[in-house]
């Protein structure tokens, strides 16, 4: 059912991001962090892409990578702007996944981008089980 608030699609994206942010910031007795991986789509339905570790400036065995999968770090409820951290997509062999569909595991990074959530028309939540999923004894390359 479409509510009056969702008649404005931008408002829907902002509300969804706020709900996900609340879920991630909930504390429970296990002290486990909840990470909800998301993909944001532009008005032409292409996924937002960002690059991490450009120029290989970090002590990171993977080097530069591209991703369309993010974690919400912060959202300002009044402006609908916020910060996303890049989640590194890893394939089943422990290498950087070349496509979204090859992603077997997601790893948290310190790389972030600032975004205006008004610029997006769709949001897709991915399985939280992907975050830090074991590679089954495979050592990352």
Does the pLDDT value for residue 7 go beyond 50? Answer: no
With respect to residue 136, please indicate whether it lies within any of the assigned structural domains. Answer: no
Structural domain tally of the chain?
A: 1
Q: How many CB atoms lie within 10 A of CB 93?
A: 12
With respect to residue 110, please indicate whether it lies within any of the assigned structural domains. Answer: yes
User: From CA 23, how far away is CA 41, in angstroms rounded?
Assistant: 21
Residue 60: pLDDT band by 50, 70, 90 thresholds? low
The conformation of residue 82, written as its DSSP 8-state character, comes to E
Q: What angle do CA 37, 39, 102 make, to 5 degrees?
A: 80
Does the pLDDT value for residue 86 go beyond 90? Answer: yes
With respect to residue 113, please indicate whether it lies within any of the assigned structural domains. Answer: yes
Does the pLDDT value for residue 5 go beyond 70? Answer: no
Helix (H, G, I), strand (E, B) or coil at 14: helix
With respect to residue 138, please indicate whether it lies within any of the assigned structural domains. Answer: no
Q: Across residues 87-103, what is the average pLDDT?
A: 93
With respect to residue 32, please indicate whether it lies within any of the assigned structural domains. Answer: yes
With respect to residue 49, please indicate whether it lies within any of the assigned structural domains. Answer: yes
Decide which of 44 and 10 is more confident.
Answer: 44
pLDDT at 53: 85
With respect to residue 135, please indicate whether it lies within any of the assigned structural domains. Answer: no
The conformation of residue 57, written as its DSSP 8-state character, comes to -
pLDDT at 6: 44
User: From CA 138, how far away is CA 2, in angstroms rounded?
Assistant: 45
Domain with 30, as residue range(s), is 5-54+63-130
pLDDT at 8: 52
With respect to residue 109, please indicate whether it lies within any of the assigned structural domains. Answer: yes
116-128 pLDDT, tens per residue?
A: 999 999 999 999 9
Burial of 30 (C-beta count, 10 Å sphere; 0-12/13-18/19+): exposed
Under 8 Å between Cβ of 21 and 72 = yes
% of the chain exceeding 90 in pLDDT = 60
Q: What angle do CA 28, 115, 84 make, to 5 degrees?
A: 35
Q: Across residues 91-103, what is the average pLDDT?
A: 92
């Amino acid at each position: 059912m479409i509510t009056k608030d969702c008649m404005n699609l931008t408002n829907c994206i902002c509300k969804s991001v706020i709900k996900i942010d609340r879920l991630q910031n909930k504390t429970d007795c296990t002290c486990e962090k909840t990470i909800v991986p998301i993909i944001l789509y532009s008005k032409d339905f292409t996924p937002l892409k960002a690059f991490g570790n450009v120029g290989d400036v970090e002590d990171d065995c993977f080097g530069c990578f591209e991703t369309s999968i993010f974690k919400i770090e912060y959202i300002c409820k009044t402006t609908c702007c916020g910060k996303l951290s890049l989640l590194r997509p890893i394939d089943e062999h422990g290498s950087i996944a070349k496509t979204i569909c090859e992603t077997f595991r997601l790893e948290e990074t310190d790389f972030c981008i600032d975004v205006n959530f008004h610029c997006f028309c769709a949001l897709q939540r991915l399985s939280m089980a992907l975050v830090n999923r074991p590679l089954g004894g495979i050592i990352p390359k």
